Structure 1
Amino acid sequence: MPSKAVGTGTFFAILIFYLMEAFRQLNFAYGSQIMAEVLTLSGQVVFGAIIIFASIVARFVAHAIERNNDQGTRVAAPLVRIAIIILGTAIGLRFMGLADDIINLAFGLLLGAIAVAFALAFGLGGRDAAGTAVRRMLDGAKSSDGPAVTGARGEETMAGSLNRPQSGSFEDRNDVRDVVDTPRF
């Protein structure tokens, strides 16, 4: 019963307050400090549990997404529900002060795994899509940079500033006049 759990929690909070004040009246600072720490930690644990319990809202969010009846919502609704539950649990555990390093490591590994998965999917599965995307970028840059030159495989490459040979001396380049005209102090 939720009312019994709330009543028991309130009883223990009153008991801790009572013990803390009793230790303070007896000039037993160490005992009072221990009770203050217990009260602080129990408050963090209770509030963290409330945050974890509030992640149940994920069910309602998933149902709201599913009501759209699109093709993408069948995939998105479970992903959103799982993401909210994982994030709510992580925030609750972090607020409790439990497993901070484990949560940081888990999120880092999760994001790294997602990045590697996207890189592999794009690199292996989307080789043709990547080729057309690069070709479009090169065509757009080619029209604004200079004449095109046919490469070894028959593709067009840019013959602009990227492929222009430059000598190693600074005076041979066109930007030497900018430096020469600048007054020196």
Structure 2
Amino acid sequence: MKVLVVEDSDRLRRSLGDGLTKSGFSVDLAADGHEALAFIRTYDYDVVVLDLMLPGQSGLEVLRQARDEGRDLHVLVLSARDQVADRIRGLEMGADDYLIKPFDFGELVARLRALVRRRYACKNPRLRVGRVEVDTAARCALRDGEPVHLTPGEYAVLELLVRRSGTVLSQDQILDSLHGGEYAVSSNVVQVLISSLR
């Protein structure tokens, strides 16, 4: 699950990044609205954690612009603005959820997972390309109806390739989709995973 965290506080941004990575998310970090929009326009995210009070371009402006551009995003607003009117405005502007600071990290993770489930609930959890079928709910793959044993990295690449069937993906795009930071240390990991899948 790929998450973009948009937070201007360095300490909180790093803390969220570390905690979400340890919780199984692949995380990108942005410090302001302009950087957030650049990430949103470049990568696909399962969910965006968005602070409202950002330098330069506010979180609501980022949200409005992303929605105006037709971006398919699930957005959780994470803000110190705790007034009911602020929450209503955020939700009416297109946020899917709103969590007030200070917050419990476990609750944040649970809300993010719920948003991801909701995002894919209405879509078919089984994807098929040729003789390969990927069950995104069970996180497993079948070839000609028989289970295929895959490592988490192999599964992540296979799901990405099946979801983007017919699209040419660069090594960087594939590497970026992989869960966790362990893959970033080796430049040939994409070739190894693709070779294993073949």
The answer, yes or no, to whether TM exceeds 0.5 is no
Larger RCO, structure (CA 8 Å, separation 6 or more): 2
What is the TM-score when the length of structure 1 is the normalising length? 0.24
- Work out which of the two has the higher radius of gyration on C-alpha atoms and give 1 or 2: 1
Q: Counting strand residues as a fraction of each chain, which structure ranks higher?
A: 2
Task: Give the TM-score taking structure 2 as reference length.
Answer: 0.23
